[in-house]
Amino acid sequence: MITAADVTTNASDALNYTPMLDQSHQNTGIHPEQALVDAGYCSETNLEAVRGRRVTCGTDTFMATGRLGHDEQVPPAPRGCIPKDATLKERMARKLRTEPGRKAYSRRKAIVEPVFGQIMTCQNGRRLLLRGADGARGEWRLLAACHNFRKIFRHVGTAGLAAAIA
């Protein structure tokens, strides 16, 4: 299910980490337990926000710190204590290299990425047809809502929808 959707004019997602999690909380009424975000979100500001979100909201974030080559494997986490002078980016990279970090982030391929593929193929969402920020945002949110309705329908069927309406 898509819990937050937006369109921005920013080339990078770095400015969207906090707004997307806030929108998800506003739309669902709960803070996500886990956030799996790609390297486009990685910035010093977001890495500091990750720490704050963990404390205030309980959201455990796994943020990629860079890209791997096509056949490159994630190196194992070094043994021992984390150095006290490690930067936030180094700490996040180390977190992703742990067994729980690799497991959690690998789920991103099965949770997040298929949504974009389904919107592109099932809903012909390769290009937005409406122009302007408001038009593009509205069209993208409509595509997200249709994706969610499709998921709900597959899960409950017509009988479940009829029962929900009654």
Q: Quote the pLDDT of residue 101.
A: 87
Calpha distance 103→96 (Å, rounded): 9
Calpha distance 25→46 (Å, rounded): 17
Q: Quote the pLDDT of residue 74.
A: 66
This model's pTM is above 0.85: no
**Both 5 and 65 in a single domain?**
yes
Q: Which two tokens stand for residue 62?
A: 């796994």
**pLDDT for 58-79, tens place per residue?**
999 999 887 777 777 766 777 7
**Both 35 and 85 in a single domain?**
yes
Calpha distance 27→137 (Å, rounded): 16
**In the beta sheet, which residues pair with residue 16?**
none
- The domain tally of the chain equals 2
Calpha distance 79→46 (Å, rounded): 26
Calpha distance 113→12 (Å, rounded): 17
**Both 102 and 27 in a single domain?**
yes
Q: Quote the pLDDT of residue 122.
A: 77
Residue segments in the chain with a per-residue pLDDT below the cut of 70: 74-75
Q: Quote the pLDDT of residue 61.
A: 93
**pLDDT for 119-133, tens place per residue?**
887 777 778 888 898
- Domain of residue 70 covers 1-108
Residues 5/30, Cβ–Cβ less than 8 Å: no
Q: Quote the pLDDT of residue 57.
A: 92
